[in-house]
Amino acid sequence: MEPSATMREYLAEIYRLQEYEPTVSTTSLAERLNVSAPAVPRMLKRLKSAGYVKHVPYQGVELTPRGQAEALREIRRHRILEVFLVQVMGFTWDESHEHSENLGGGLNDALTQRMAEMTGYPTRCPHGEPIPDAEGNLPPVYDLCLLNLGVGHRGEISRVRTHEPERLRYFAELGLVPGTPFEILGRAPFNGPMRLRAGREEVVVGAELLKSVWVTPAENPAG
């Protein structure tokens, strides 16, 4: 059976959550999708009967190979639509996710392919997340959270992993956007703020915000 727009949304969110927790709890899913707790088991039952997820006793659910393939199709549609909204329609990166969520239910593969053509076959969304190809293959990404690096490291910002509009606007003001070169100039102890050179500017950013900034470091730290 062809999954509904809501089923596709669930599958994509399960895929995203499985990056952090291999087995996804109903609580996590309800929080991420902003739905009531009772609604989640009902949808998971439908997804299980359709062969998209399997239940792990006392833990939650995980995608089957069929469910993963459908999740990647949905993620491709979502991220290409985000690129289209920014490049063609002129929305900012802090607006693209919500609009893509609202419009994504009406997308099919033909529309997605046309948007990919119009935007030059992008491999990353505006936030730096990789876009699966038409066969559902994700390009490899070798990056890590900026918090894992110390003073002297440099490289390039690869992803900004939040969809909160206020945070995205703030990151943009600081110049912390995908593709920007960085260098860590200083770091306060006890999980304190970090002093960075982002592009040509020096900025100071707290540890909580930096959890969302992922980077591709140069092979060796400076100096």
Q: What is the pLDDT of residue 200?
A: 93
Q: Which amino acid is residue 109, in one-letter code?
A: D
Domain range for 123: 77-140
110 and 152 share one domain: no
Find the mean pLDDT for residues 20-43.
Answer: 90
127 and 82 share one domain: yes
The number of beta carbons lying within 10 Å of the beta carbon of residue 208 is 11
Q: What is the pLDDT of residues 94-120, one digit of tens each?
A: 999 999 999 988 899 999 999 999 999
Share of the chain above pLDDT 70, in %: 98
Cβ contacts of 176 within 8 Å, gap of 6 or more: 157, 160, 182, 196, 198, 203, 205, 213
Average pLDDT, the chain: 93
Is residue 68 domain-resident? no
151 and 135 share one domain: no
Q: What is the CATH classification number for the domain harbouring 157?
A: 2.30.30.90
pLDDT higher than 90, residue 221: no
Is residue 41 domain-resident? yes
49 and 12 share one domain: yes
Q: Which amino acid is residue 117, in one-letter code?
A: E
Is residue 223 domain-resident? no
135 and 150 share one domain: no
Do 16 and 52 meet the contact criterion of CB atoms below 8 Å apart? Answer: no
Q: How far, CA to CA in Å, does 220 sit from each of 29, 91, 184, 213?
A: 39, 37, 13, 19
Distinct helix (H) and strand (E) counts, the chain: 8, 8
Q: What is the pLDDT of residues 133-166, one digit of tens each?
A: 999 999 888 999 999 999 999 999 999 999 999 9
pLDDT band at residue 55 using 50, 70 and 90 as cut-offs:
confident
Cβ contacts of 172 within 8 Å, gap of 6 or more: 92, 93, 94
Total domains in the chain come to 3
Q: What is the CATH classification number for the domain harbouring 22?
A: 1.10.10.10
User: How is residue 201 written in tokens?
Assistant: 């500017």
The number of beta carbons lying within 10 Å of the beta carbon of residue 6 is 14
Do 214 and 144 meet the contact criterion of CB atoms below 8 Å apart? Answer: yes
159 and 211 share one domain: yes
Q: How many Å apart are CA 31 and CA 63, to the nearest integer?
A: 18
Is residue 159 domain-resident? yes
Is residue 69 domain-resident? no
For the chain, how many residues are written? 223
207 and 169 share one domain: yes
196 and 163 share one domain: yes
155 and 204 share one domain: yes
54 and 93 share one domain: no
Residue ending a domain, among 89, 105, 140, is 140
User: How is residue 131 written in tokens?
Assistant: 């876009």
Q: How many Å apart are CA 30 and CA 37, to the nearest integer?
A: 6
